[in-house]
Amino acid sequence: MTTDSMTLRESNIAKLREGVVYDALIIGGGINGAVSAAALSGKGARVALIDKRDFAGFTSQQSSNLAWGGIKYLESGDYLLVRKLCLSRNELIRSYPSRVKEIRFFATIDRGFRFSPFFLWLGTWVYWLFGNGFTRIPRFLTKDRIHREEPVVKTDKAAGGFEYSDAYLHDNDSRFVFQFVRSAMDRGCIAANYVESLGARRDGELWITRARDTRTGETFEIRSKILINAAGPFVDDHNQVTGEQTEHQHLFSKGIHLIVPRITPHQRILTFFADDGRLFFVIPMGVRTCIGTTDNRVDTPETEVTDADRDFVLENINKRVALAAPLKREDIIAERCGVRPLVVKRQGGDGSGRDWMQLSRKHEIDVDRAHAHLSIFGGKLTDCVNVGNEVARIVAGLGIDLPHAGYRWYGEPHRSVYEEYMHQARLMNLDSYTSPESIEPLSSRLWRRYDQQAFELLAQIREDPRRAEVLIKGTDYLRCEIQLAKRQEMIVTLEDFLRRRSKIALVVPRRQIQEAEGLMDACEILFGEAAQARYAEYFGESRSVTRAQSRHLESDAA
Ligand SMILES: Cc1cc2nc3c(=O)[nH]c(=O)nc-3n(C[C@H](O)[C@H](O)[C@H](O)COP(=O)(O)OP(=O)(O)OC[C@H]3O[C@@H](n4cnc5c(N)ncnc54)[C@H](O)[C@@H]3O)c2cc1C
């Protein structure tokens, strides 16, 4: 195969096989691996990144999509953690004005709850101060006010409530993570998805990692001075196969979300305490609503949504919001399910000393200096800039030269670049191409998703306006976006595109996607001759749609 006809992934795998010695090889392309790659490559290190699934194909696609200080950790006395997370949240809002946005949390408290609304409202002021007063100020909500402003909330048992701010990821977590991988690649990182580490050994001063291309089964070796284990819930497994000892280890807490038709038109997060006493959110997700989450200790990272999980979430929501008809299992459009990797000390660290739900969400990086090995435990999407900076500091401390140590590796382009983009978009009347399905002007959406690369899309549309046609009906994806995705976004399976680079699979019922006009055209752009095979691979597997759902979707489509 010539280099010209290779995909980005194939050419990156060819580079990984060349036998070059990387400064660092990162195992895992979730948020922790992605920011490590972006920070290190931005600062001038020679970096490789592999993930055995798609980037953000495990935990980092299952979060609540929030960048938040963790108000609930005030109750468990984790003040330092809350302070740190609030500052991280502020930094994300400042650095990603189009991707991470402040949002109001609109909380309703029932009578007889363990704290009064007034006391909790005072707590939100403490929280606001922990965040240096960066966000809008909290508000006390009387029962009447809740009813007036959010009539969908049942107030018969309410004692009152409060409103405060945190932030959310406008697109979704997996897109946010991919943008770090993309930015790492723009700075020289060699990244490949669907490449698994089978384990690594020391050879003199180097790490030799045995890698396997999970699409072809081929194995090869990658050489690096440092090994960074960012395998999320699989950090301990990977350390075991490489023989690494660590001070910390992971425990797992399962959490699910259900995506249902939109519950309220307001762009705010309705907040309740579920029957188990845990915070429970109704989160806007474009034209849909995402409800969750749960928190149950499990022993293994692989989990799935059970009927008991579905019923817990549905019962809780139906108790607290008044809809024309209560939500039923058949109303579920999509589901999310994952485990939080929670860090505890290995010695006596079974979490038993502390209430399970109050186990800390901090991160820890264990460093084996003698072997130049890092293990990243725990963490949150919110914490990602700290993790990237900390990894870069440790790697420099291990003797890797970072010629651009002061480089700011994260954040959207400078405001003047954005203004130039918007100017060009206005001159060509870009927003007139906005799809009727879209909830925002096309210019904003393209900037948020592609920033610098959005200029290329403008040029393409100027050259041939047909490239601005919506390719997949029922979504807002343009022909030129899919062409760009083909070249730049390392899409290997249809799920990579529908579930992670875009959020189509989260907001459009599966049957509707399957029958959408233009989907096969999109597959042909993305996969060429393999279009039919990739389509069959995705729709052939019906595991993520329950029987009840398919019945519902069939009647929907009829
Ligand atoms: C229900 C839920 C809600 C959450 N809500 C929030 C929230 O609102 N805000 C927030 O900040 N955080 C939230 N979190 C936490 C956050 O999602 C996680 O902390 C974070 O995504 C973990 O990222 P990670 O990179 O450590 O792990 P992962 O995303 O799991 O990445 C690890 C990667 O390593 C890969 N891998 C594993 N083994 C190998 C191998 N041998 N070779 C190659 N690759 C390998 C995996 O395929 C995976 O992609 C939530 C988590 C859950 C479960």
| CATH value at residue 192 | 3.50.50.60
532 part of a folded domain: yes
Q: pLDDT tens-digit profile of 417-443?
A: 999 999 999 999 999 999 887 889 999
| Residue among 359, 290, 388, 310 nearest 61 (CA) | 290
Pocket of ligand 1 (CB under 6 A): 27-33, 50-53, 57-60, 62-66, 196-197, 230-234, 238, 255, 293, 338-341, 379-382
Look at residue 56 in the predicted model and tell me its pLDDT.
98
Residue 338 lies in a domain: yes
The whole domain housing 419 covers 415-539
Domain count, the chain: 3
User: Does residue 301 belong to any structural domain of this protein?
Assistant: yes
Asked if residue 351 and residue 300 are part of one domain, the reply reads no
The model carries a pTM of: 0.94
CA–centroid distance, 361 to ligand 1, in Å, is: 12
**552: in domain:** no
Same domain, 56 and 197: yes
Give the number of the atom of ligand 1 that is nearest the alpha carbon of residue 28: 34
Distance 301 CA to ligand 1 centre (A): 10
What distance in angstroms lies between residue 35's CA and the mean position of ligand 1's atoms?
A: 12
pLDDT for residue 547: 36
Tokens of 42: 């931005």
Listed as ranges, residues in the chain with pLDDT below 50 are 3, 542-558
Residue nearest to atom 18 of ligand 1 (CA): 380
Residue at token pair 């899409």: 491
Asked, for residue 150, whether it belongs to a domain, the answer is yes
Q: Is residue 234 part of a domain?
A: yes
419 & 379 share domain: no
Q: What is the pLDDT of residue 140?
A: 98
Same domain, 98 and 140: yes
Q: Is residue 65 part of a domain?
A: no
> What 3-state class would DSSP assign to 320?
helix
Distance 256 CA to ligand 1 centre (A): 14
pLDDT at 356: 55
Instruction: Judge whether 228 and 391 are in contact, CB under 8 Å.
Output: yes
What spacing in Å lies between the alpha carbon of 58 and ligand 1's midpoint? 6
Do 117 and 241 lie in one domain? The reply is: no
Q: Are residues 222 and 361 in the same domain?
A: yes
Q: 154, 477, 225, 538: which is closest to 373 by C-alpha?
A: 225
Same domain, 183 and 292: no
Which spans in 202-283 are helix H? 235-242
Amino acid at 94: R
Give, for ligand 1, the residue of 50, 54, 55, 60 to mutate: max count of ligand atoms closer than 8 Å to Cβ: 60
> What CATH number should be reported for the domain holding residue 337?
3.30.9.10
